Amino acid sequence: MTERSAEVLVVGGGVVGLSIAYNCAKMRIGKVLLIDKGKIGRGASSRNLGGVREQFSNEPMIKLTQYSIDIWEKLSGELQWNVLFDQKGYLMLARTEAQAEQIHQNVKLQNSLGVKSVLLSRERVLEMLPQLKSDDVICASFNNRDGSVHHDAVLWGYERAARRMGVEILEDVECFKFVSSSGEIKGTETSAGLILAKKLVNATGVFSKDLAATVGVDLPIKSYRREVVVTESYKHFLKPVFWDLSTGLLLSQTLRGEVLCDTRDPWNEESRETTVSLTFIKKLAKELHELFPQLTGLNLLRQWSGTYDVTPDGSPILGEDDTVKGLYFASGFTGHGLMVAPALGRLFSEYISSGKKPELLRPFRLSRFAEGKPIMEPLVAGRKLS
């Protein structure tokens, strides 16, 4: 096998890896190589609902998503490919006093940082969503700068742009282990042979933990399965992305009228499996009937599942490792990788080029857990908020 080498090696061909590779090539850092053990974008990046939001509960994630949405707004032009970013808003529904207090505090924090989210009264919620049937609605938060993208369009756009910029992309190349020496990354052993690299980005989602362990780094990441279904087309009734914090029901209606549906996994098991279940369908059907009865009897077109790489605090691990120089992590997104991918491409390329860590990335260091400085994020799809 021929030995390969690169200035920057990105392991993982999801949306985060593609964004980082594209931006590194755009900055002309040197040869950029991206590898994936399967086909580009076949992992978690193509198995989500495509939601994008600034509505988080902690300052670092709010600032990171603000920057990311700034890029999302112009990304189609930059990539010369329509990523179908639709700023239709994002509504988070509170049906308990604890949820209402949480989103009230969230909106207050978000507003202090420049996010123009608002708190909606029960009456305003029902005015915006007249089809919603729930006697226990208290309030909701809403931000019209939020919205959704089409994950496949984003992946295709970044892949094509990366190739135009000269990124070499190798599919069906499995990474077995990272290689380091004297505290510095040297490359990786793969099914295509040894690949040498001065800078290596670990963007492998739920597999990040396994690969980090090959050079003695412990990433506190667990994998959880999430299921999604899409219905047949239905007359448009839902403009914003809708999230019920009580059940976990998450809905987004496409331009063609299909309804993308997700809810809290009834088992919530730690797993890397991408199987589907009848239990999920039963729970989803019950919640749809209770909250949006007009959808009762709507046919389902497809059902699939993906994985979340989950950290103890619900926030990602971003940046260079403290013990292995040249090894960078873009991992632990807990379902938010697509949202921040445009920002991370810009930030990591600047970071790798200059050697100086951008301020937006500093809070997300791996060492925060040992330091007792977690970035707690309670608003994670699939996680119950009482």
Domain boundaries, the chain: 4-49+152-220+312-371, 88-144+223-310
CATH class of 88-144+223-310: alpha beta
Q: What is the pLDDT of residue 24?
A: 98
> Which DSSP string corresponds to 241-292?
EEEETTT--EEEE-TTS-EEEE---SS--B-------HHHHHHHHHHHHHH-
Distance (Å, rounded) from C-alpha 293 to C-alpha 272?
A: 33
Distance (Å, rounded) from C-alpha 35 to C-alpha 49?
A: 25
Q: What is the pLDDT of residue 385?
A: 44
CA-based nearest residue to 243, from 257, 225, 263:
263
CA-based nearest residue to 288, from 107, 64, 341, 280:
280
Segment 42-57 mean pLDDT: 89
CA-based nearest residue to 139, from 128, 154, 127, 124:
124
Task: Enter the tokens of residue 282.
Answer: 């039963």
Task: Enter the tokens of residue 209.
Answer: 């933990």
Q: What is the pLDDT of residue 45?
A: 81
Taking domain 4-49+152-220+312-371, whether its CATH number is 3.50.50.60 is answered by yes
Bridge partner list, 190: 175, 193
pLDDT at residue 338 is higher than 90: yes
Q: What is the pLDDT of residue 273?
A: 84
Q: What is the pLDDT of residue 264?
A: 85
pLDDT tens column, 224-234: 888 999 999 99
Q: What is the pLDDT of residue 267?
A: 65
Please state the φ and ψ torsions of residue 31, each to the nearest 5 degrees. Answer: -65, 130
Q: What is the mean pLDDT of the chain?
A: 94
Segment 299-324 mean pLDDT: 95
Segment 123-152 mean pLDDT: 95
pLDDT at residue 283 is higher than 90: yes
pLDDT tens column, 259-282: 999 998 766 668 888 889 899 999
pLDDT tens column, 242-260: 999 999 999 999 999 999 9
Instruction: State the maximum Cα–Cα separation within the chain, in Å, rounded to a whole number.
Output: 67
Residue with tokens 């755009």: 26
Question: 186 pLDDT band (50/70/90 cuts)?
Answer: very high
Segment 180-202 mean pLDDT: 97
Cα R_g (the chain), whole angstroms: 21
pLDDT at residue 10 is higher than 50: yes
Lowest-confidence range among 49-53, 138-142, 213-217, 317-321? 49-53
> Which DSSP string corresponds to 12-70?
--SHHHHHHHHHHHHTT-S-EEEE-SSSTT-SGGGSS--EE----SSHHHHHHHHHHHH
By the 8 A CB rule, do 208 and 318 touch?
Answer: no
